[in-house]
Amino acid sequence: HVNLKGRDLLELDDYTTEEIQYLLDLAVELKRKQKNGEVYQPLKGKTIGLIFEKSSTRTRVSFEVGAFQLGAHALFLSKNDIQLGRGEIISDTAQVLSRYLDGIMIRTFGHHNVVDLAEYASVPVINGLSDLAHPCQVLADFQTIYEQKGALKGLKLAYIGDGNNMAHSLMIGGAKLGVHVSIASPEGYEPDPEVVKQSREIAKQTGAEIVVTRSPQEAVKDADAIYTDVWASMGFEEEQKIREAAFKNYQVDEELVKGAKSDYLFMHCLPAHRGEEVSAGVIDGKNSVIFDQAENRLHAQKALMAALMG
Ligand code: CP
Ligand code: NVA
């Protein structure tokens, strides 16, 4: 009885636990169909526009391929190649694109761009990463954990590093799904206090515990999954040197992971920097599920497109 037709996805707090669980189950089902060679094209004849203001490997390719597999056509719209890059306003862009397309994905800097686009578009808008949130990645991540562990509720995920878009969406998603999330960040790089507050509010419904600490050792203690992300996100490249200094004690390495459960999953949204946020031994080791996460972007976003645009 879950029906997401016509909805936007700006961040996972837009959705109930039941709706997120529905998307994860659908993602698993669509993955099975794809592996069995079953053709499933509920979006035949439909179109989705993909607006990119930042670089992308996974998001672009998984949305384009996913749309194709569902029978839809995807248009790659680099911000600099459309009039948006020359100052055409978001509200006009949203209303024009809504006359052609059945859905729009946007990857941008300021989250307000996603909010504005959704406000003025009459078709579903999907956040393909903003400085605040990365909900598509987190759908794929929880699908991956679910596949590996057979459950989500009551598990513990530790996130080590920058309190960025990934940290935020993992906290919100974890809170919704009953997964305990511990974030360890250095001073000045903590997650947004508003998002922490909001996650804790959501977590009251599911029993999840949301912890923010300075200590990577405390965060990884008995963790089922250890997650990290780049120290300098897109748009922060010029801070690389200052950040390397601030984050030097926050590398996920062989010593740190000893504190987690022995069957812990190492997770990273990618792209990664070996020798910075993670050692080569850990990211390329036997506990790493990074390529399952990357693959699941395809399946999770197919579920999302089918549910919103079908
Ligand atoms: N994880 C992720 O969103 O990767 P891309 O930047 O390559 O899309
Ligand atoms: N935090 C990273 C994630 C990239 C997928 C960034 O925003 O650049």
Of the residues 60, 243, 269, 301, only one is catalytic, namely 269
Q: What are the pocket residues of ligand 2 if the criterion is a CB atom closer than 6 Å to any ligand atom? A: 129, 164-166, 229-230, 233-234, 269
What percentage of residues in the chain have a pLDDT greater than 70? 100
The pLDDT tens digits of the residues spanning 274-306 come to 999 999 999 999 999 999 999 999 999 999 999
1: pLDDT strictly greater than 90: no
CATH classification of 137-290, choosing from 3.40.30.10, 1.10.3210.10, 3.40.50.1370, 3.40.190.10?
3.40.50.1370
Distance CA 174, CA 277 (A): 22
Domain at 12-133+294-309: CATH architecture: 3-Layer(aba) Sandwich (3.40)
CA-closest residue to ligand 2 atom 6? 233
Two domains, one topology: 12-133+294-309 and 137-290: yes
Q: Is 137 in the pocket of ligand 1 (CB under 6 A)?
A: yes
The predicted pLDDT at position 2 comes to: 96
Q: State the closest ligand 2 atom to the C-alpha of 162, by its place in the atom list counted from 1.
A: 1
Contact by Cβ (8 Å): 127, 11: yes
* 112 catalytic residue (yes or no): no
Buried/exposed code over 158-191 (b: 16+ C-beta within 10 A; e: otherwise): bbbbbbbbbbbbbbbbbbbbbbbbbbbbbeebbb
The predicted pLDDT at position 223 comes to: 99
What percentage of residues in the chain have a pLDDT greater than 90? 100
Q: In the predicted model, what is the mean pLDDT of residues 224-241?
A: 98
Q: Is 206 annotated as a binding residue?
A: no
* 107 catalytic residue (yes or no): yes
Q: Which ligand is nearest to the CA of 58?
A: 1
* 297 catalytic residue (yes or no): yes
Of the residues 8, 131, 229, 299, only one is catalytic, namely 229
CA of residue 236 to ligand 1 center, whole Å: 16
DSSP H or E segment with residue 29: helix 17-35
Complex ipTM tops 0.95:
yes
Predicted TM-score (pTM) of the model is: 0.98
Q: In the predicted model, what is the mean pLDDT of residues 193-198?
A: 98
CB atoms within 10 A of CB 68: 13
Average pLDDT, the chain: 98
CA of residue 270 to ligand 1 center, whole Å: 6
The pLDDT tens digits of the residues spanning 68-100 come to 999 999 999 999 999 999 999 999 999 999 999
Cβ contacts of 1 within 8 Å, gap of 6 or more: none
Q: State the closest ligand 1 atom to the C-alpha of 129, by its place in the atom list counted from 1.
A: 3
CA of residue 130 to ligand 2 center, whole Å: 9
Q: State the closest ligand 2 atom to the C-alpha of 236, by its place in the atom list counted from 1.
A: 8
The pLDDT tens digits of the residues spanning 115-166 come to 999 999 999 999 999 999 999 999 999 999 999 999 999 999 999 999 999 9
186: pLDDT strictly greater than 90: yes
Residue spans of the domains in the chain: they are 12-133+294-309, 137-290
Q: In the predicted model, what is the mean pLDDT of residues 106-114?
A: 98
